[in-house]
Structure 1
């Protein structure tokens, strides 16, 4: 994914989406309280697990999730899947891409949880999204079967970021235009699944090979 123009550090670079971000942040004494706050209202929704969120709601909630952790524990910077369960909401399971480049991740997903992710995405103003989407492309394969992504050209989104996060670097609530290629999947059958995600816009590319383990309903 790509980040907003005007940010510092890795944020000046392409925000890879399925996603990406990156920047500095060291946890302070208030870190535990900050994380608890990040898990609350910004990631919750009045929608039920069976309801599909709108593209604007989905993007705003995903970016809030991506902006809830510093780089060391950020799901976009994750190299092996160890951060995939952090700050997940209760009605959907988010997956992330990278800040650029390709990684392999193993991730355990609860039973009955829909899955949502971008192939490649960004936020900014309308002109940022227009330029980004003019040359965007990507592919998704689930257990070897091609999945057609949805194209979100530009929605007004609301994002709540945490202090020291890898996306904006600071705690703030803001509105922006969000865009990208996205997939929303219903809950997967219990067992192991292979998910391969690739996304690109101009010279930025991101990719993740996910080994997903979906729990049985009794677990």
Structure 2
């Protein structure tokens, strides 16, 4: 993936009343969040205080999660939710948007006790591209019929690690310093039970329209070896 590639991902977006045209917020790469646990921990770390994460931490964490899977296991290209749990972290749960291609319905299990973070609209590219992108992005999102608040995060410098053949067309595995911006939703841990996340979004630069309906079930994870 090149830093000039403008890639839009959507989970819908709350309609912006004003454009996000501020100067870049950060000029240094983000500090990496904890790496995904390869095996469930017997004593998991407490969930992140998701509302206190900086713009760099939000955008670095999500983009490196989303860019780290090959296309055939990508939560971004997932059509039914089977890859929702791919490469998840032990203290935060990410949800993916799409790269377009029409409506998507995903059924996903979300661990009780973990905050949820996802972009409504996001891109990586040049800092100047973010001004245009944020100015023209719009949409809406609801959880169980209640509108969610979108948080605009302006151009932020991140270090992006990608694997070859990911959802965004990376041709080689590697890292690069780039800029990210977008509209984001931070959710406290979901109450146990079933939840409906309905999202709609579109942007003009690049032109894309996305519809995603998430059917979420928040439940206590089954311990390893349990029957």
Structure 1 segment 19-38 matched on structure 2, within 5 A: none
Distance 2:183 2:157 in 1: 16
Q: Which residue of 2 is the match for residue 184 of structure 1?
A: 186
Taking a change above 3 Å as real, the CA distance of residues 133 and 6 of structure 1, as seen in their structure-2 partners, is: closer
Q: Which consecutive aligned stretches of 4+ in structure 1 deviate over 6 angstroms post-superposition?
A: none
Larger radius of gyration: 2
Deviates more, 1:206-215 or 1:166-175: 166-175
Unpaired runs of 5+ residues, structure 2, are 13-32, 38-44
Q: Which residue of 1 is the match for residue 161 of structure 2?
A: 160
Distance 1:17 1:174 in 2: 23
RMSD (Å) for aligned C-alpha atoms: 2.4
User: What's the CA shift for 1:67?
Assistant: 0.9
Q: Which residue of 1 is the match for residue 99 of structure 2?
A: 99
Q: Which residue of 2 is the match for residue 146 of structure 1?
A: 147
Number of corresponding residues: 190
Q: Which has the higher helix share?
A: 1
Q: Which residue of 2 is the match for residue 114 of structure 1?
A: 115
Q: 1:134 is paired with a residue of what secondary structure?
A: helix
Q: 1:163 is paired with a residue of what secondary structure?
A: coil
User: What's the CA shift for 1:216?
Assistant: 3.6
Q: Which residue of 1 is the match for residue 203 of structure 2?
A: 201
Kept after mapping to 1: 8 A contact 2:34/2:89: no
Q: Which residue of 2 is the match for residue 30 of structure 1?
A: none
User: What whole-Å deviation, never above 9, does each CA across 1:71-112 have from its counterpart, x for those lacking one?
Assistant: 121111000000100000111110011111320000001110
Q: Which residue of 2 is the match for residue 214 of structure 1?
A: 218
Kept after mapping to 1: 8 A contact 2:48/2:92: no
Unpaired runs of 5+ residues, structure 1, are 20-39
Q: TM-score, normalised by structure 2?
A: 0.76
Structure 1 segment 6-85 matched on structure 2, within 5 A: 14-18=7-11, 42-43=35-36, 49-52=47-50, 53-85=53-85
